Structures are given as structure tokens and as C-alpha cells.
Structure 1
């Protein structure tokens, strides 16, 4: 499992740029950023090199943020790669609350996902690796 930061961000012009500047000024490098919006606010999900430092910088700047454990799974960057991963997770009875993909420096994609039952997901690691997927650690994403 890796650390993901979720930031609750008002839907106002310039807020996302300001959030990114805050992290840049704190020396935080983002590997991934995902945005989901509602009418009044957005949920910005970030994978970065130093989640605790990032959260501290965001808190100091007045943002509301949390750190959540998510799984990061390497996926072959080819047609059907994600479908095969999702089928393997389905076969392992793993329920996904949300997820998003991003590119990785090794040429593969990474699927970051929040699962309903982390204990069940931990027991599925062997099955994922047998199917050819790599469960990644925080250090492998930096």
C-alpha cells in the first residue's frame, strides 16, 4: 500500500494552480494527480514522493487534506492490460471503491485503487503476482 493525499478543493478559479504551487514550493514531486468534482468542490487525489511533508505544507496553507492508503499495481501499457487486472481483482473478490491510472517511468501504467477491504486485498497480492502484475511500494513510484 502507498500513501495518497486527498485534498478538498473549492471550485474557484486558480485554486488548483495554487495547490500545485504550494506543493512545488515545498519541494514535493507529484507522480499522479486526479480530480473528481461536484458542484461546490473537487476532490484532488495526489500520489507524491513525501506524503507527510506534502500534507503538512497543505495544512499550513489552509487546505483540508487527508492521507489514505491505496494500492498501486503495475499494469502492462497495452490494450487489455487494465481489463486483465480488473478481472484478476474480480476473481479475488476485491471490491474497488475508486481508482485511476497514470504512467510510470518504467513504461508501464500504474493503477492506483482504493479497495473496500484492505485485509482481503493484502491476501490477494500473491494471486496478482502470479497473474503477472506488480504490486508497487511508495519508493518505486518516486
Structure 2
């Protein structure tokens, strides 16, 4: 069963959708269009407040249609925020991007370098498979 939080959330220049697949316990966050720091923070808080009971919290982040609207420093700060967020300490995130282009690269590198369990994929299927492998905690 798939549960969609709302339909799509629209914030002037950017759209995102959060879905939960109960069979796999994977939360999917899909971006479409421009995204800024405030919207990124909002989506994290929405996922954490709604799905904090999932252990581990498995999140598939689809950035294939994302247009980054964040300064370099904001991307670095957001990566650190992900790595240090209390509700994400046992989370596992798979970022799906277009082959050869990852608009989330700076965020991913900073988050990963600071201990956030994250991996990058150009295939949604591979991302889902990785998310389903048990954590090595």
C-alpha cells in the first residue's frame, strides 16, 4: 500500500511529493522544479514528524527533476544539518539523480562526510535495493 502525504505540496516555485510504501517501509521524497533552503528544511521536518516511528527511517530522495536554488554555503549547511539532525541519526537515505548530473552532490558529500548514512544512484531500483539492506550498526 502506498500512502501519499497530501497530494503535492506547492510553494510558489517548487513542488515536492512525499509518499510512503508500507510493503517496503520506504519514504520517497520527490522534488520537481526549484528548491531553496527553506523548502529543504520543511521537507525534512515533515518527514521526521510523520515517520519518526520507522526504525530505520529509509528515505529515497529523487532529485532528477530538481533545480537547485541554494547557494554553495547553504548546501554545505544543509548537509551538516542532515548529518546532525537527531531524528535522522538512524536514517538511511538514497539519492536518485540523472546519470552524469547530481544537483545534490555538495549536500550529499557534506552529509556523508559528517556521518550521515547516504548513497547516490542513477537507478531508482538500485536505490530501493540498497535501502532494504539492513544497517550495519
Bigger relative contact order, structure 1 or 2 (CA pairs below 8 A, ≥6 apart): 1
Structure of larger gyration radius: 1
